[in-house]
Amino acid sequence: MTRGELKEILGDRPDANLRSKQIALHLYTRNVDNFADMRDIPQALRDELAGRFDVQPLSTASHKTSIDNVDKLLVHNGDHQVYECVLLPYENRVSCCISSQVGCPMGCKFCATGLGGFDRNLTAGEIVGQYLTLQRLNEKRISHVVFMGMGEPLLNLKNVVKSLRLLHDEVGLSYRHLTVSTVGLVPQIYELAKEKLPIHLALSLHSPLDEVRNRLMPVNHKWPVKEVVQAMKDYMRATGRKITIEYLLINELTDTPEQAHELARIIKGTPNVVNLIPFNWVDTGEGFSRPSNDRVRAFRGILASKGVNVTQRVERGHDIAAACGQLAGMHKGKFARRAPSTVLPVVG
């Protein structure tokens, strides 16, 4: 709930404005997970709220820590519909990667999440709950949030937008430190632009050639490269945020010089950043492999020579399958393409 919604549930109490601010502070800043600990609120009101509502933090079914201090949690909301979120501490900041859906229906051929199928959208509370759950693991404030976990955020646009507003208005994060990643749903890109939120929108492009992107991403059959790149340019003009391209380098498939030149061409003249992601191994049955360092350097060099602002993703959490494309969450939902495995028991 937003502060306004909290005030609304308090009705016509003369102190509703004060109490709603106090409750929001406890929930989103102090990370309190029960009414009993909201001690600056009168006992009678705490009892009333406890009788009407739950402060329901997510339950953790699994917690893994990588050799480079990345934490990956498998969480749920009291059921067996599990999803993953990742805490990423860096020297100068703490970031987290959160999910927007239980599973993913997009079927990208390089991604573990899509292998498990799809069940449902997450609520705004479940999305923000991931942030709050991860924050309890680290004394430093999580300042950056990326919607790059399980699911396609723009398929859950209403809840994602509300969660962005909660993270900004209630938790206190800068919109400029919030990034939403999409495979390129053109109508939803325009819908998001209308919200006028100064967030980063990142396009998972992965190839500038339709014949290659068609093989990797079924969405490209509906919205091909030219159309989705134009939508991103229109989004940039509407919001003032530069185009961000996520680009997966798969050996001898997406890492060719031809594609580097074409990528530079289609974004020429537009403020941009291209983030290169060498393929993290996932057994998708496609036989994909990671390019050599020489091939990565060559691709990056071509982009840089064309004036493209190019970076390379810092890889974290690979040993616990927490890197890009590896979040599967032991999820087995509708349309799953993996063999069933043991369902985790509900914990907590």
**Residue 324 annotated among the catalytic residues of the structure:** yes
- Domain ranges, ordered by start, for the chain: 3-52, 59-320
Looking at CATH, the fold of the domain delimited by 59-320 is given as TIM Barrel (3.20.20)
Beta pairing, strands 83-89 & 94-97: antiparallel
Concerning whether 108 is annotated as a catalytic residue, the answer is: no
Check if the beta carbon of residue 313 is closer than 8 Å to that of residue 275: yes
pLDDT in tens, 88-140: 999 999 999 999 999 999 999 988 887 778 899 999 999 999 999 999 999 99
User: Structure pTM?
Assistant: 0.90
CA geometry: angle 87, 68, 177, nearest 5 deg? 35
pLDDT digits (tens, 9 = 90+) for 9-54: 999 999 999 999 999 999 999 999 899 999 999 999 999 999 999 8
Write down the catalytic residue from 85, 96, 111, 324.
Answer: 324
Which tens digits make up the pLDDT trace of 277-325?
Answer: 999 877 777 889 999 999 999 999 999 999 999 999 776 555 555 445 4
**Contact 94/88 with Cβ under 8 angstroms?**
yes
Exactly one of 5, 48, 84, 195 is catalytic; name it: 84
Q: Could you tell me which CATH class the domain 3-52 is placed in?
A: mainly alpha
